[in-house]
């Protein structure tokens, strides 16, 4: 029985470990069938509206290709093409689009805008990224870890760098699945306390653990997964040189990697800035799974779309 049909996907916090696992299992099935040349047109006749108020490579392509492979159709809508960009209330956009399409994906800055869209829409809304959260990325990250290690419960993952939207969704997703997650970030750049507290509550229930640390070496000690992201996210370009100084000791390189488990995998949600948050040697080395991780955006989102639309 599918208990996800009609649900919004705004944050992994809204989903149980069993529900997340069901998405991952379907993703693995759909990925296998696609590679065998046996695509499943599970969304034939369905349409997804994709609202982009922030630029994207992976989000746009993975959702658009995913809908195509499932037999449906995706509409790209930039803010310049929508009346919402000229002052139309979000509630009106939500109501009207709900009359035309079967689902809405939005990539924007303010998380409150996604919540408002979901409140007034009568079709499922998917959070494609906000400044607070990036749940679709975390879903594909969990899929990648499950593929590479064979399990999630008890996996030790270290996130090194800025406590941003990717870190937030990883904290929530990993803690839901009984994983042990350590975040290594400079003082002043830790994840939001509210998110960390939610993750700790999840971990208490799932058997996982959550630590927020300052020293990157302490965070990655014996980790099976090392994860990093850009030091300056979209909208923070003016802070880039300042942040470069702050985060200099947080580069994922061979020295830091040597402190992790011998067979540790290295992840990055991309785009990556070589020799900043990650060295070229590690990004392109034998431990890196970043391209598999990027590909899994497609498969994880296909599973999500299938279950909620």
What own/partner pairs with CB < 8 Å and gap ≥ 24 does 128-133 have?
A: 128/50, 128/52, 128/56, 128/59, 128/63, 129/54, 129/56, 129/59, 129/165, 130/165, 131/165, 131/233, 131/235, 132/165, 132/168, 132/192, 133/10, 133/11, 133/165, 133/168, 133/169, 133/172
Identified catalytic residue from 7, 190, 287, 297: 297
Identified catalytic residue from 8, 58, 107, 168: 107
Identified catalytic residue from 134, 168, 190, 243: 134
Task: Give SS3 for 29.
Answer: helix
**Residue 206 corresponds to which tokens in the numbers above?**
């799932």
Tell me how crowded residue 282 is: count the other CB atoms within 10 A of its CB.
23
3-state secondary structure 44-95: CCCEEEEEECCCCCHHHHHHHHHHHHCCCEEEEEEHHHCHHHHCCCHHHHHH
> Is residue 269 among the annotated active site residues?
yes
Whole-number Å distance between alpha carbons of 3 and 15: 11
> Is residue 293 among the annotated active site residues?
no
Binning the chain into helix, strand and coil, the percentages to the nearest 5 are 50, 15, 35
> Is residue 107 among the annotated active site residues?
yes
Identified catalytic residue from 13, 102, 229, 301: 229
Distances (CA, A) of 85 to 45, 104, 130, 183: 28, 16, 17, 36
Identified catalytic residue from 13, 69, 137, 301: 137
> Is residue 41 among the annotated active site residues?
no
> Is residue 134 among the annotated active site residues?
yes
CB of 262 closer than 8 Å to CB of 285: no
Identified catalytic residue from 168, 269, 293, 299: 269
Can the peptide bond before residue 271 be classed as cis, meaning omega within 30 degrees of 0? yes
CB of 79 closer than 8 Å to CB of 101: no
> Is residue 102 among the annotated active site residues?
no
Q: Which residues are catalytic?
A: 107, 134, 137, 229, 269, 297
């Amino acid at each position: 029985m599918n208990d996800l049909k009609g649900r919004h996907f705004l944050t992994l916090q809204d989903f149980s470990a069993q529900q997340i696992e069901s998405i991952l299992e379907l993703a693995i099935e759909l990925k296998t069938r696609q590679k065998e040349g046996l695509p499943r047109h599970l969304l034939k006749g369905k349409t997804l509206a994709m609202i982009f108020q922030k630029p994207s490579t992976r989000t746009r392509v993975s959702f658009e290709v995913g809908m195509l492979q499932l037999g449906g159709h995706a509409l790209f809508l930039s803010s310049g093409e929508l009346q919402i960009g000229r002052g139309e209330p979000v509630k009106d956009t939500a109501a009207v689009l709900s009359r035309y399409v079967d689902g809405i994906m939005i990539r924007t800055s303010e998380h409150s805008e996604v919540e408002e869209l979901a409140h007034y829409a009568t079709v499922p809304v998917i959070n494609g990224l906000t400044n607070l959260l990036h749940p679709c990325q975390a879903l594909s990250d969990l899929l990648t870890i499950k593929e590479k290690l064979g399990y999630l419960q008890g996996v030790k993952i270290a996130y090194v760098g800025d406590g941003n939207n990717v870190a937030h969704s990883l904290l929530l997703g990993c803690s839901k699945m009984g994983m042990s997650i350590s975040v290594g970030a400079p003082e002043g750049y830790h994840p939001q306390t509210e998110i960390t507290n939610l993750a700790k509550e999840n971990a208490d229930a799932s058997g996982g653990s959550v630590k927020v640390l300052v020293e990157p070496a302490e965070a990655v000690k014996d980790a099976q997964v090392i994860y990093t992201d850009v030091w300056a996210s979209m909208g923070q370009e003016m802070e880039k040189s300042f942040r470069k100084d702050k985060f200099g000791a947080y580069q994922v390189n061979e020295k830091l990697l040597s402190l992790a488990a011998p067979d540790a995998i290295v992840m990055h949600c991309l785009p990556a800035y070589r020799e900043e948050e990650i060295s070229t040697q590690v990004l392109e080395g034998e431990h890196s799974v970043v391209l598999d991780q990027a590909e899994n955006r497609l498969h994880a989102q296909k599973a999500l779309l299938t279950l909620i639309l």
